[in-house]
Amino acid sequence: MNDYLVKAIDKTKNLRLLTVTAKDLVSEAQQRHDTWSASSAVLGRTLVGSLLLAGAELTDKEELTVRLLGNGPVGPTIVTAQADLTVKGYVKNPHIALPPKKDGHIDVKQAVGQGWFEVTKDLGLKEPYTGQVPIVSGEIAEDFAYYLTKSEQIPSAVGLSVFVNPNNTIGEAGGFMLQALPGASDELITRTIKRIKELPALSTSFLDGMTPEDLARKILGTDCKLLEKDNVAYKCDCSKEKYAGILETLKTSQLQAMINEDHGAELTCSFCGNKYHYTEDELKDILAKKNAEKDY
Ligand SMILES: [Zn+2]
């Protein structure tokens, strides 16, 4: 696994930056879901953006879920990232490929469409916190930045990149998330944004071998401080037991139908594609457990 995330801070300690290279984990998502180019770009960018957000904001056992709820052909995109920098996700329609834009890039904006960008954070409190903003761009990086600025009042700049090869494999994936801390002067922010605007296309740089450390120095300056380097990965925490728990929440009549008519059930995890099979006897056990709990 070559994917990792770097946390850095500028010389004045007023700008926090996270950079990541994530080709392997986006490749795993592409293979698990058999996504085509536009779906790969939407899912990949959302996976990378969510990882950066998790790296910036989560600790311990916390997790966050990003929902990109657009009306474009790819359909809703759901990604969950953990504080340990593992991530999983899926798109409703994996088999979307669109004609390229004039500049040759994948038309991600078209693929996403209009709608809502939602972030739910489970911080171990009673109620998870959800923030929602309209999709302002559809290119996804700008939507993460807009969400951070509007919903969390953290002035931010975000860059996300996924390069899809003609045979649908992933050529590169990566990105950055810059957050201005309260002490950041306008002059510092303006200078840094100018540096970001002058960067060559992220995809080209990553394909040319740029590392997250290189990217951090390009954005914050060579005098920045690199604080941390952590591995990142695609990981789904599903299991047969976990889905049995979900079956238990179905109506008794639905479980009965699975037992009497289907003589078993097969569930597929949306996040990773793993399949879980339950025999008639296992379903009877689940139903018995459900009824036993109801009696309390
Ligand atoms: Zn799974």
What is the CA(199)–ligand 1 centre distance, in A? Answer: 37
> What's the domain range around 34?
4-234
What is the CA(236)–ligand 1 centre distance, in A? Answer: 5
CATH number of the domain bearing residue 26? 3.55.30.10
Domain termination site, one of 183, 209, 234: 234
What is the CA(147)–ligand 1 centre distance, in A? Answer: 27
Query: pLDDT tens digit string along 156-178?
Result: 999 999 999 999 999 999 999 99
The beta-strand segments (E) located in 57-155 are 63-70, 77-82, 86-91, 115-122, 129-134
Query: Does 98 lie in the same domain as 65?
Result: yes
CATH number of the domain bearing residue 254? 3.90.1280.10
Query: Does 282 lie in the same domain as 180?
Result: no
Please give the tally of structural domains in the chain.
2
What is the CA(193)–ligand 1 centre distance, in A? Answer: 39
Query: Does 17 lie in the same domain as 159?
Result: yes
- For 156, residues 6+ apart whose C-beta sits below 8 A from its C-beta are 144, 145, 148, 149, 177, 178, 179, 180
Query: pLDDT tens digit string along 119-165?
Result: 999 988 888 999 999 999 999 999 999 999 999 999 999 999 999 99
Query: Does 158 lie in the same domain as 138?
Result: yes
Rounded to 10 deg, the angle between the 240-248 and 280-294 helix axes is 50
Query: Does 255 lie in the same domain as 186?
Result: no
Q: What is the per-residue pLDDT for 295?
A: 61
Query: Does 119 lie in the same domain as 194?
Result: yes
Query: Does 228 lie in the same domain as 257?
Result: no
Residues in the chain where the model's pLDDT stays below 50: none
Q: What is the per-residue pLDDT for 296?
A: 57
Query: Does 288 lie in the same domain as 208?
Result: no
